[in-house]
Structure 1
Amino acid sequence: MSSVPDGNRFAPPTAHVADMVSADSVELGGRGARLVAAFLDGLLIGALAWGLMLATPMWKMMTTGHISMVTAFLMQTVGGLVLFTAVQGFFLATRGQTIGKMLLGLRIVRSDGERASLGRLIGLRYAIGSVIGVIPFIGVFYVLVDCLLIFRESHQCLHDNIADTIVVKA
Structure 2
Amino acid sequence: MSHANPYLPPDAVLRVEEDTSAIELATRWQRFWAGILDAIIGFVCGAPFLFAFGLFDYSRRGQTPPLMLTLALTAVAFVIFILVHGYFLKRNGQTIGKKVMGIKIVDLNDNTADFWKIVLRRYLPISAVSVIPAVGQILPLIDVLFIFTAERRCVHDLIAGTKVIKAKSD
Matched length? 142
User: Which residue of 2 is the match for residue 39 of structure 1?
Assistant: 36
Find the counterpart in structure 2 of residue 140 from structure 1. 137
Question: Which residue of structure 2 lines up, in the alignment, with residue 59 of structure 1?
Answer: 54
> What are the residue-to-residue correspondences of 1:20-169 with 2, within 5 Å?
25-54=22-51, 56=52, 58-59=53-54, 69-169=66-166
Alpha-carbon deviation of 1:70? 1.5
Secondary structure of the residue aligned to 2:105 is: strand
1:159 and 1:69 mapped to 2: Cα distance? 27
> Structure 2: any 5+ residue segments left out of the alignment?
1-20, 59-64
What TM-score, normalized to structure 2? Answer: 0.76
2:54 alignment partner AA: W
The alpha-carbon deviation at position 53 of structure 1 amounts to 3.9
- SS of 2:54's partner is helix
SS of the aligned residue for 1:166 comes to: strand
Give unpaired runs (5+ residues) of structure 1.
1-23
Structure whose alpha-carbon radius of gyration is higher = 2
Residues 62-119 of structure 1, C-alpha deviations (whole Å, 9 max, x = no match): 66xxxx6222111111011000001101110011100000000000000111221111
- Percentage of matched positions with identical amino acids: 33
Q: Provide Cα deviations, 1:45-70, integer angstroms capped at 9, x if missing partner.
A: 1111102444x4x239x66xxxx622
